Structure 1
Amino acid sequence: MAKNNQSPTYTTIFLLFKDAILGKQQDFTSGSLRKAVFMLSIPMILEMLMESIFALVDIIYVSRVSVNAVATVGLTESVLTLVYAVAIGLSMAATAMIARRVGEKDIKKANETAVQVVYLGILISIIISVIGILFPKEILELMGGKPDLIEEGYRYTQIMLGGNITVMLLFLINAVFRGAGNASIAMWTLILSNGLNLILDPLFIFGLGPIPALGVEGAAIATTTGRGVAVLVQLIILFKGKGKIQLGIKYLIFKIQLLLDIIKVSLGGIGQFIIGTSSWVFLMRIISEFGSEVLAGYTIAIRIMLFTLMPAWGMSNAAATLVGQNLGAQQPDRAEKSVWITGKYCALFMGIVSIVYLLFATTFLSWFSDNPNVISNGSLCLRVMSAGYIAYAYGMVVIQSFNGSGDTFTPTLINFICFWLFQLPFAYIMAIHLNYGPQGVFWSITIAEVLIAILGIWLFRKGKWKSVKV
């Protein structure tokens, strides 16, 4: 009897899962909040998992090339995080504004916003491409790369930065889909790009038939190609698809005031991520002082962490969409309740992951390297950072909820205090002056994330985000 009573529940969950990945529900301003969180979170979690698989696949193959190749990826990714900062900042504005317009049932304005967001992304990526194509060696040298590393890896840096438009548009167009409630479309485009990357990576890195072995440079070609194809599919869906956002020729004009509104909302988002990612760049610079083996261990550990941080990020994106749409529908209490529900689920997930990392960190690192120093430093990094995972969970959900409301200033202030005023000085003093080495950097990251969660929850409870206009 118990089995019969349980079966409808499992059937219901399966059907909801199916509807979620197919994108059956796009309006989340009414009905069950738990269902809304589930329906949005599932495709967003899968989307973010696809993004983290990019990182894992690259590092699995690149680690078979050389330690310098892994370190090159780490240094280049540190610089690319500045590109991500701009892309994510703009995507916050896109999600917040489009979710608000969808909540207000103003689809025409949502379409206009989507076009202007894409224009901004293209203009910014062109500037970054020029710098990346012309100065790859100088960038790696500035990041602390040694001459042999620079000579082996500069082409990777050149291609990744030169082709940053694929990163920029992939982020921005998926943000448009998420804001409209079409999270499943964002998920499927990343599945496509990951599938291509998985096939192309070994072909270009190790060579096959007429394709020469390009080493770490091949990883950049594979990743950029996979993302580029996904962007083309995104654009086709925007113009030819059946989602809420349907673009046409009439929308393809510059709307200066709307462009300025997007920039205004995105500045806070760009600012908060530039603060966070520039802090990450400086931390990488400190780590590079301890040699390529420590740098490689740190890089691998971060890639492994991303595999589980990205699903949590997906849940926090779900909270942002729920906040935006429900504020647009004049339901602030429903918006707030959705944040606490999402935060609880996210903390449960991250707590389980934390235990797994604490127990099996060395095993995970050994999958990527057989160098004892790389494994030792990487596993230490993984254990220290995972100790703060539950705080990460609530911090991410609350910060993204601010952004979903259009209040990008508060997270910027929180990041400034926790990253620049605390994390960087603490890491430098602990690692260099007090001779704690890389461990000092690892602890600075964990403690800073705990502070972000505490400040974020305190300010969120004050409720000023409910009155933000976008």
Structure 2
Amino acid sequence: MMNNVVQSTYDITDTYFVSQLGSIPMAAMTLVWPVVFFFLAIGMGMNIAGTSLIAQYIGNGRKDEAKRTAGELISISIILSLGLGIPAALASHRIVSLMGAEGEVLTNGVAFLRIMLFGMPSLFLFLAYAAILQGQGDTMTPMKLKLTSLILNIILDPLLIFGLNFGIAGAAIATVFSRGIFAAYGLKTLFNAQDDKLVLSFKDLIPSDRIISLFKVGLPNCIGQSMAAFGFMFLNMFIIAYGNETIAAFGIGNRISSFVLMPAMGIGTALATIVGQNLGADQIERARSAIKRSAFLSTVIMGGAGLLFYNFIPNLTGFFTEDITVFNQTVDYLQLIILTLPLMGFFQVFIGTYQGSGHTIYSMIMMVGRLWALRIPLILFFREFTNFGPTGVWYSMILSNFIITLVGLGIYHSRVWESKVISSEARDLKSKNVYQN
């Protein structure tokens, strides 16, 4: 949970300082952020596969294979971040203009996006490091690095944005640099001897046929994450049609609601490791018990957090903007979304379950279906057949969250996620050798 709180604080820090530049830079950052997430989603998909496989190998007593999977995950992260980030950075002006941006929104959007895309290696490697430790059940160490990185980002943001007058580009530089320096440190520790931890060697970085398993498990999640990000890009194109103030309100509201959602995301992240290790050890009932407890915790925490934050929505919104139009639209958005957070708690639990089990096709179905099969058609319906205006987008978000949660519940009760994705051959052979010796 603290990991995700730190991550959300990271985003809120950038949002706060950029919002002080005005609604146009805020609108620009909100518009292009899904593009950044689109590329990060590919790395995240592979990292989720790495976490699942490492957890199941450890649960299955096969640490050497877990170690080699971790090494290959680092190699894949380097290759993908360079292969995707550099060409996209060079085409950033074209990308932002295709999203409907013009004038100052276009200029600011390109400035932010280009730096973030060139900095993809630092972002990918930070995620890979956290995924490797998460697969081993260690979420404390990545949290400490994220917290230190956050402190550096808080220092750099005002210095670069206002002190050196870099504007919105300063926020991107601060993010890339603060992530990159601690990603390098984190990766260095993976190659040093540590108690009860996987210790990598450089030969573990050499790709082998094991990489097929990473892609097999990771590809559906890459598709799910990237299509979700593309869906948000598409969503932003609808929202910006209502004006710069509306897209700015959506960006501020999303940052605040995401912060409140962090406990449920933390539970889902931890659940992925627990489900993976228990399935690897053939402890299916224990995995099911963990899922039920996680769902209960998420509902209680999200319901309580929603009620608590509801009364402070105007105060929180006023912290980010003095524009009355942006303020009113953000408050409207948050008052609708905050009280439905228990739905997103269930969503995160189901995503963590299917990612941890390695059956990422089901998490892909939920992520893609929520946006493309439900939310975007609902937005079009409300736009064409009602006079709700921007509020129709908020209603679409609530309905899509509710329906996809029912889909996730159906998949859970089908029990199709309960089989592990690693073979049992190595473990059986190991047991046979021990018995013969």
TM-score by length of structure 1 reads: 0.87
Counterpart of 2:10 (choices 54, 67, 74) is 54
Task: Give the letter aligned to residue 174 of structure 1.
Answer: A
* Aligned twin of 2:90: 134
Report the Cα distance in structure 1 between the residues aligned to 2:375 and 2:47, rounded to whole angstroms. Answer: 26
Q: State the Cα deviation string for residues 175-232 of structure 1 (Å, max 9, x = none).
A: 111011111111111112111101111110111xxxx211111111111100001201
Counterpart of 2:261 (choices 281, 284, 309) is 309
Distance change >3 Å, CA 159–CA 449, structure 1 → 2:
same
Confirm or deny: 8 A CA contact 1:357 1:383 kept in the other structure.
Answer: no
* Aligned twin of 2:399: 447
* Aligned twin of 1:7: none
Are residue 186 (structure 1) and residue 142 (structure 2) matched?
yes
Q: State the Cα deviation string for residues 286-338 of structure 1 (Å, max 9, x = none).
A: 00001111111110111111212233111101111100011111111001101
Distance change >3 Å, CA 232–CA 439, structure 1 → 2:
same
Confirm or deny: 8 A CA contact 2:350 2:363 kept in the other structure.
Answer: no
* Aligned twin of 1:204: 160
Counterpart of 2:182 (choices 208, 219, 230) is 230
* Aligned twin of 2:335: 383
Counterpart of 1:401 (choices 353, 371, 377) is 353
Report the Cα distance in structure 2 between the residues aligned to 1:190 and 1:159, rounded to whole angstroms. Answer: 20
Report the Cα distance in structure 1 between the residues aligned to 2:27 and 2:279, rounded to whole angstroms. Answer: 44
* Aligned twin of 1:85: 41
Are residue 287 (structure 1) and residue 243 (structure 2) matched?
no
* Aligned twin of 1:33: none
* Aligned twin of 2:285: 333
Confirm or deny: 8 A CA contact 1:49 1:310 kept in the other structure.
Answer: yes
Confirm or deny: 8 A CA contact 1:107 1:244 kept in the other structure.
Answer: no
Report the Cα distance in structure 1 between the residues aligned to 2:154 and 2:90, rounded to whole angstroms. Answer: 29
* Aligned twin of 2:217: 265
Counterpart of 2:129 (choices 173, 180, 183) is 173
Confirm or deny: 8 A CA contact 2:161 2:168 kept in the other structure.
Answer: yes
Report the Cα distance in structure 2 between the residues aligned to 1:241 and 1:203, rounded to whole angstroms. Answer: 38
Report the Cα distance in structure 2 between the residues aligned to 1:416 and 1:362, rounded to whole angstroms. Answer: 32
Distance change >3 Å, CA 249–CA 421, structure 1 → 2:
closer
* Aligned twin of 1:239: 191
Task: Give the letter aligned to residue 415 of structure 1.
Answer: M
Shift of 1:272: 1.7
Are residue 252 (structure 1) and residue 210 (structure 2) matched?
no
Counterpart of 2:323 (choices 371, 382, 395) is 371
Are residue 392 (structure 1) and residue 344 (structure 2) matched?
yes
* Aligned twin of 2:227: 275
Report the Cα distance in structure 2 between the residues aligned to 1:281 and 1:168, rounded to whole angstroms. Answer: 20
* Aligned twin of 2:252: 300
* Aligned twin of 2:302: 350
Moved over 6 A (4+): none
Task: Give the letter aligned to residue 106 of structure 2.
Answer: I
Range with greater deviation from structure 2 (424-433 or 439-448): 424-433
Task: Give the letter aligned to residue 363 of structure 1.
Answer: N
Tell me the SS of whatever aligns to 1:144. coil
Q: State the Cα deviation string for residues 67-95 of structure 1 (Å, max 9, x = none).
A: 11111111121211212321221121011
Report the Cα distance in structure 2 between the residues aligned to 1:146 and 1:433, rounded to whole angstroms. Answer: 28
Q: State the Cα deviation string for residues 351-383 of structure 1 (Å, max 9, x = none).
A: 112113432222211110011100111111112
Report the Cα distance in structure 1 between the residues aligned to 2:355 and 2:138, rounded to whole angstroms. Answer: 18
Shift of 1:241: 4.9
Task: Give the letter aligned to residue 60 of structure 1.
Answer: Y
Counterpart of 1:459 (choices 394, 400, 411) is 411
Report the Cα distance in structure 2 between the residues aligned to 1:127 and 1:288, rounded to whole angstroms. Answer: 30
Count of matched residue positions in the alignment of Structure 1 and Structure 2: 421
Tell me the SS of whatever aligns to 2:320. coil
Shift of 1:422: 1.5
Task: Give the letter aligned to residue 364 of structure 2.
Answer: T
Unpaired runs of 5+ in structure 1?
1-44
* Aligned twin of 1:219: 171
Shift of 1:130: 1.7
* Aligned twin of 2:111: 155
Across the aligned residues of Structure 1 and Structure 2, the Cα RMSD in angstroms comes to 1.5
Confirm or deny: 8 A CA contact 1:395 1:457 kept in the other structure.
Answer: no
Q: State the Cα deviation string for residues 362-414 of structure 1 (Å, max 9, x = none).
A: 22111100111001111111122223211111121122111100111122223
Q: State the Cα deviation string for residues 17-38 of structure 1 (Å, max 9, x = none).
A: xxxxxxxxxxxxxxxxxxxxxx
Equivalence map 1:3-22=2 (5 Å): none
Tell me the SS of whatever aligns to 1:469. coil
Report the Cα distance in structure 2 between the residues aligned to 1:250 and 1:421, rounded to whole angstroms. Answer: 44
Tell me the SS of whatever aligns to 1:466. coil
Task: Give the letter aligned to residue 185 of structure 1.
Answer: T
Unpaired runs of 5+ in structure 2?
423-437
Tell me the SS of whatever aligns to 2:417. helix
* Aligned twin of 1:99: 55
Report the Cα distance in structure 2 between the residues aligned to 1:415 and 1:191, rounded to whole angstroms. Answer: 28
Tell me the SS of whatever aligns to 2:233. helix
Report the Cα distance in structure 2 between the residues aligned to 1:413 and 1:430, rounded to whole angstroms. Answer: 24
